[in-house]
Structure 1
Amino acid sequence: MTPRQARDGAQLKPVPHGLLQAFRAYESALMSDDVAALDALFADSPTTLHGDATGLLVGHEQVAATHDPRGGSAKRRLVQTHVQVIDEDHALIVAVTELDLGGRGLQTQLWARDPVRIEHGGWQVTAAHVSEPAPAFDSRIWRVVGDPLVSSHTADGALSGETVAVKDIYAVAGFAVGAGSPTWLEQAPVAKAHSSVVASLLDAGASVRGIARTEEFAYSLSGLNAHYGAPPNPKAPDRIPGGSSSGPATAVALGHASIGLGSDTGGSIRVPAAYQGLYGIRTSHGAVARTGMLPLAKAFDTVGWMTRSAFLLQAVGEVLLPSSPLSPVTPADVELVPALVDLATDEVATAVREALPDARTSSWEPSRLEEWRQAFVTGQAYQAWQAHGAFLETRLDTLGEAVRGRFEMARSVTREQAAQARAILAEARTKILEAVGDDVLALPSASSVAPTPADAPGVRDDTLRLTCIAGIAGLPAVSFPVRTATNRPAGLCLIAAPGRDRDLLALAQSLPH
């Protein structure tokens, strides 16, 4: 990324010659564990400083002792670099890094030039401070966490060594399901057995890291829980995390867990995956058993998960999903749907198109999409009230404002309105299945990059127009991370016919990433 310079009054000071080359040499040496180069790039002085979470090192001798040729530094990439020039021989560099393990770090370095030195233009680090994501408990992310919370059932399974953040709608034996609601949690019984999907992951060697936050009753796309706060979005710190599988998404993005077990009714896997730069899958309706999962709208609820890599996303699918009876899909089967891509903001639409430069173009134009969205919202609301109305009838005031509004609307939906919605959705399902056929359709996972909390309500309907398509037809959908021109995370969504979950996972693994 091109470094940015700080202003001095109205003038920009030019970056001194050789400074950026020395800075890049430092990064290269750190990532390749070139101890000799690192030692040379730190000033050989008793006043040289290096600080991080473990403490402060004073003097070149102490700093050099920490350089480990055995791969001690976490792999990372630079995402922002800012240079503040002090004078021709001194400058401050502040850089944001993105770790392969998830999350973001920050490093600040004071550089000084020794005119006697030849190597690296005379530039050396005289003081440095590094911060990386802390794996500490964060109540916005976790309801309860352990190390692990529940141990795996085997040491040599397909998922041995992996850790799972379980969305707080799945039963974990010994704990109650909290559903993102303190009022619900107060009366919820302790689960005697694991939900079927949690048990399957444990049988495959994964352990449960903890139970992660969700929005109340998983009825939202923002991730802004009114009681516990919003989990942070480490890929876009000033933006919302996306919901309702917000806790598992953030846990994975931060590196607290490697697998985020969530659910997707109207986009609750695809939206947080897009907002936080993750891989995610919403499975075909009924492909993975929902035993032990608190429902929202049974006709649309599906199991899903998020990871930081396409490889692990597929590995989880090999454990949880039935085999595909159909022939594999290839990149040649992918069709970009311009009518759907154009529903996204320009920056997201451009990122999606650039991610698939050779894709064929679909002529499908769902002219009744807004009608379908409204029918989906009505159908989902009716079922949500059937699932939770008896409990919430006298407790609506315990809900956060946004979720309360949805349940109040859900309470007002009549049987006749629900029946009309079902008829529209049945017709829509037929149209969608015809459009998908044997191909893979590509569209944005969400209509925009992660919005700010203030802007979140305004993008909900736009995103639902895209996400409801898979929900209406019970399709599998994989969200693939892409980057916009402003370096913000977004999502490319691939959808296929029901039952082609494994095929989509294999396709995501084969695409450039």
Structure 2
Amino acid sequence: MTPRQARDGAQLKPVPHGLLQAFRAYESALMSDDVAALDALFADSPTTLRGDAAGLIVGHEQIAAFRAARGGAPKRRIVQTHVQVIDEDHALIVAVTELDRGGRGLQTQLWARDPVRIEYAGWQVTAAHVSAPEPAFDSRIWRTVGDPLISSHTADGALSGETVAVKDLYAVAGFAVGAGSPAWLEQAPVADSHSAVVATLLDAGASVRGIARTEEFAYSLSGLNAHYGAPPNPKAPGRIPGGSSSGSATAVALGHASIGLGTDTGGSIRVPAAYQGLYGIRTTHGAVSREGLHPLAKAFDTVGWMTRSPFLLQAVGDVLLPDSPAADVDEIHLVPSLVGLASDDVATAVGDALPDAKPLAWAPSLDEWRQAFVTGQAYQAWQAHGAWLETRLDTLGEAVRGRFEMARSVTREQAAEARAVLAQARAEILDVVGDRVLAFPSASSVAPTAAEAAEVRDDTLRLTCIAGIAGLPAVSIPVRTATGLPAGLCLIAAPGRDRDLLAVAARRPAVQA
């Protein structure tokens, strides 16, 4: 590293005192994961920036939270350093990095000096951008991927040119269903035919880009697969992607595929769609064939998909959904009691997206309903997988293992009591919904960090269980909070009104995140 790197006309500007020492201190702290030192070397300002391929993080507080959660940076060494001096108190440093795993990257930092600060001679980073060689295959997102993996033989179908990320619960001919579990995948048979949904999408001209990751047996809402890692969330770097259709969601959000095929039992389309700024639909229970779909809880499992565009979301519906008479939606009813379950920023974003919505007074017994839903889902999950898991619970990640251990303990009597509660809840929900379209948040918060995920799960389930209990279609429309993070506006309607909800979403592209 040379002490003179920048020209001012014919004169080289000397590198300001203490800058290179601060730069070296930053690199040392990065390699030792000294979070406190890294925080001190970044300017404590809401305008401080840190960007990479996953997105831009704004503000020292958010950057510090990202750094604390990531568990250290990839090991590397600096091979070139270039300094452009702006003035005595500002400089740009561009460094070429060489990663231990191979490949080279770039690190660009804007440094500023605060003459009042003593530490590091007053130098701090005010903006940084990091680029690193991307892995050819990101196993957090994909189980297997191709270019494409399976081609459509239809050149002029309604979905020609579109690509599908298939959640690893659907049968794809020539591959086993892995269900997010290495132990299950090891013994799973290879499918000799496509699931009904995959076959229909191929017939419509779409190709299969690859098989996308899911959480183990789709029994979670976080996207944190203990074996393969969490797919990144490009719309909210450092935060969870949402599950269990997390791989499909991330593939779409990153542009790896245009359609993310998933499932929704308790929110596994709506939550990742909300967290990643996507459009998503959970279809009416039973409206789309589940032939060839690995179950979690058959009484609640539904087919769903996510896209970046409301028009593509609707186009997929035109292919997969049964024909039904269209009904105009003149009015949307916002449910204040459900909006109140969300954090203030999400509640505000949802309300701002529907300034003309009519409020609907409704006070459902959500605590009781959520618990009955969790119990009923657990009982069915154990009926579906208990025989195989009984001696293999130790193969599961901690969080999913805990849910299956709870599921194993649910008695027939408890399941019957839950079914009775759910039957009453379903009748009430159908009566309230009637011919209305109701609106409320898709999830109770923006995407949390991994450490915060458990804190928001129950409130989110209180919202998502409503459609699950009554078998309703639900569409999540992306909105944006005041801080720029994505959230979701959920619309529900009576069973069979999927196309009506898709039409509403297609008329509201302005609210997308």
TM-score range, shorter chain: 0.7 to 0.9
Residues 120-143 of structure 1 deviation map (CA, whole Å, 9 limit, x = unaligned): xxxxxxxx9996995832000000
Given residue 490 of structure 2, which amino acid in structure 1 is its aligned partner?
Answer: C
Matched residue, 2:459: 462
Equivalences for residues 173-188 of structure 1 within 5 A: 173-188=173-188
Matched residue, 2:489: 492
Matched residue, 2:101: none
Matched residue, 1:263: 263
Cα distance in 1, alignment partners of residues 475 and 222 from structure 2: 19
- TM-score, normalising length: structure 1: 0.76
- Determine if contact 2:326/2:499 at 8 Å carries over to the other structure: no
Q: 1:333 aligns to what SS in structure 2? A: coil
Cα distance in 2, alignment partners of residues 158 and 395 from structure 1: 44
Distance 1:346 1:402, change over 3 A: same
Residues 454-501 of structure 1 deviation map (CA, whole Å, 9 limit, x = unaligned): 111111111000000000000000000011111111100000100000
Q: 5+ unaligned residues in a row in structure 2: which ranges?
A: 1-38, 61-83, 95-105, 111-127
Residues 64-100 of structure 1 deviation map (CA, whole Å, 9 limit, x = unaligned): xxxxxxxxxxxxx999699x99439987599xxxxxx
Matched residue, 2:343: 345
Say yes or no: does 1:481 pair with 2:472. no
Residues 422-480 of structure 1 deviation map (CA, whole Å, 9 limit, x = unaligned): 11001000100111111110000000011110111111111000000000000000000
Once the two structures are TM-superposed, the CA of residue 324 in structure 1 deviates from its matched residue by 2.1
- Residue number among 487, 498, 507 corresponding to 1:501 in the alignment: 498
- Residue number among 344, 359, 362 corresponding to 2:360 in the alignment: 362
- Determine if contact 1:135/1:256 at 8 Å carries over to the other structure: no
Once the two structures are TM-superposed, the CA of residue 153 in structure 1 deviates from its matched residue by 2.3
Say yes or no: does 1:195 pair with 2:192. no
Once the two structures are TM-superposed, the CA of residue 417 in structure 1 deviates from its matched residue by 0.7
Distance 1:134 1:10, change over 3 A: closer
What is the aligned-residue identity percentage?
Answer: 82
Matched residue, 2:80: none
Equivalences for residues 210-289 of structure 1 within 5 A: 210-289=210-289
Q: 5+ unaligned residues in a row in structure 1: which ranges?
A: 1-5, 15-51, 54-76, 95-105, 111-127
- Determine if contact 1:345/1:448 at 8 Å carries over to the other structure: yes
Say yes or no: does 1:333 pair with 2:318. no
Matched residue, 1:398: 395
- TM-score, normalising length: structure 2: 0.76
- Determine if contact 2:163/2:259 at 8 Å carries over to the other structure: yes
- Determine if contact 1:324/1:503 at 8 Å carries over to the other structure: no
Cα distance in 2, alignment partners of residues 85 and 356 from structure 1: 49
Equivalences for residues 6-405 of structure 1 within 5 A: 86-87=86-87, 136-329=136-329, 332-366=330-364, 368-405=365-402
- Determine if contact 2:444/2:463 at 8 Å carries over to the other structure: yes
Distance 1:294 1:78, change over 3 A: closer
Once the two structures are TM-superposed, the CA of residue 290 in structure 1 deviates from its matched residue by 0.2
Given residue 312 of structure 1, which amino acid in structure 2 is its aligned partner?
Answer: L
Cα distance in 2, alignment partners of residues 363 and 266 from structure 1: 24
Given residue 435 of structure 1, which amino acid in structure 2 is its aligned partner?
Answer: V
Please tell me the root mean square deviation across aligned C-alpha atoms, in Å: 3.0
Cα distance in 2, alignment partners of residues 320 and 92 from structure 1: 53
Cα distance in 2, alignment partners of residues 252 and 10 from structure 1: 34
Cα distance in 2, alignment partners of residues 87 and 8 from structure 1: 19
- Residue number among 417, 436, 439 corresponding to 1:439 in the alignment: 436
- Determine if contact 1:133/1:254 at 8 Å carries over to the other structure: no
Distance 1:413 1:322, change over 3 A: same
